């Protein structure tokens, strides 16, 4: 009797619980859309509407030096996306990402691990390591522009800005500098969220500091590392100010990233629109692949 009473009394709680599978009423659905409405309006007005307008602009090809335009249709997309300007800009953007993401993420993570200690004065070092975020991209780019000057810079006689081989690296240095601070702050926050009991248990099990880092710490902060990796790749593909201030796309176009080439198409907005759509789709695909491939190695709590 008591068992049946317990089951009966628990049934309403189960049916009204958070995980219940009952259908939602019209009032609940309307309330949910009401909460979503402000963000949906912003997305439609400032993202979706301009994007579809951009798709339409991509059909038009400039003639007579940009004085008039003709409707080229989808042929404009084929010509631009397979053209040398787009492929060269994409390759330079990929080079920029390959310089900025690994170095910024690696050094920022190592500094965060080193600074995650209970030592006197460690807060001072944490403030110093995170100070790279205090300056804007423009300010950091100007600083590195002078540091790389072959006359008054840090290394006399070496001019990477004028070298086709090193120009992308020169433009990437401000981003590496800022990515380091961003990675340091976010990874340090992830390290501080690891329970002390977990670290103490690994120490009792005889784990060395290096083994504890590989087997315990990095898996627990893997969601943080995935987030950082994704946003740093996106930031890398969007880079513009560094190129404009340090190299201006030179020498001989060796550092013209895709965004920089889009900026140059001010007299041919149809071509610039196609490049923008191509960059958006590439960034979208790369982001999807990052989640599809890397998320399998991410450890989420008890999962």
pLDDT of the residue at 1: 44
Domain ranges of the chain: 98-255
For residues 238-267, give the mean pLDDT.
90
For 30, the token pair is 């309307």
How many angstroms separate the CA atoms of 217 and 194, rounded? Answer: 8
Q: Label residue 23 by pLDDT band (50, 70, 90).
A: low
On the question of pLDDT at 66 being above 60, the answer is: no
By the 8 A CB rule, do 192 and 116 touch? Answer: yes
Percent of the chain with pLDDT over 70: 88
pLDDT tens figures, 133-172: 888 899 999 999 999 988 888 888 888 999 999 999 999 9
Of the given ranges (121-130, 140-149, 257-266), which has the lowest mean pLDDT? 121-130
Whether residue 267 is predicted with pLDDT greater than 70 in this model: the reply is yes
Is residue 191 within 8 A of residue 142, CB to CB? The reply is no
Specify the pLDDT at position 76. Answer: 86
Range 98-255: architecture per CATH: Orthogonal Bundle (1.10)
What average pLDDT score do residues 278-287 get? 92
For 51-59, which contacts have Cβ atoms below 8 Å and span 24 or more sequence positions?
Answer: 51/280, 54/273, 54/276, 54/277, 55/273, 55/277, 57/269, 57/270, 57/273, 58/270, 58/273, 58/274, 58/277, 59/270
Q: Pick the closest to residue 88 from 223, 284, 255 (CA basis).
A: 255
Integer Cα distance of 163 and 285 in angstroms: 32
Q: Judge residue 175's burial from the number of C-beta atoms within 10 Å of its C-beta, 0-12 exposed, 13-18 middle, 19 or more buried.
A: buried
């Amino acid at each position: 009797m008591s068992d049946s009473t317990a089951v009966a009394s628990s049934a309403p709680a189960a049916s009204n619980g958070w995980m219940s599978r009952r259908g939602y009423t019209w009032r609940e659905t309307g309330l949910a859309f009401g909460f979503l409405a402000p963000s949906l309006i912003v997305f439609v007005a400032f993202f979706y509407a301009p994007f579809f307008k951009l798709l339409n602009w991509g059909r038009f090809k400039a003639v007579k030096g940009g004085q008039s335009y003709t409707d080229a249709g989808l042929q404009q997309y084929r010509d631009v996306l397979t053209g040398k300007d787009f492929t060269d800009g994409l390759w330079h953007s990929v080079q920029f990402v390959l310089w900025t993401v690994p170095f910024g993420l690696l050094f920022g993570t190592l500094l965060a691990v080193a600074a995650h200690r209970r030592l006197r004065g460690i807060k001072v070092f944490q403030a110093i390591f995170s100070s790279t975020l205090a300056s804007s991209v423009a300010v950091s780019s100007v600083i590195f522009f002078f540091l790389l000057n072959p006359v008054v810079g840090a290394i006399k006689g070496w001019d990477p800005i004028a070298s086709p081989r090193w120009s992308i690296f020169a433009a990437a240095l401000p981003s590496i500098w800022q990515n380091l601070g961003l990675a340091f702050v976010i990874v340090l926050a992830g390290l501080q969220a690891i329970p002390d009991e977990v670290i103490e248990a690994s120490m009792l099990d005889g784990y060395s500091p290096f083994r504890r880092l590989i087997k315990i710490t990095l898996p627990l902060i893997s969601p943080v590392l995935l987030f950082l990796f994704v946003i740093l790749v996106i930031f890398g593909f969007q880079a513009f100010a560094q190129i404009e201030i340090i190299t201006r796309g030179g020498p001989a176009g060796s550092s013209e990233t895709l965004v920089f080439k889009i900026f140059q198409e001010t007299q041919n907005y149809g071509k610039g629109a196609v490049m923008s759509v191509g960059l958006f789709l590439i960034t979208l695909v790369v982001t999807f692949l990052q989640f599809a491939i890397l998320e399998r190695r991410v450890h989420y709590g008890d999962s």
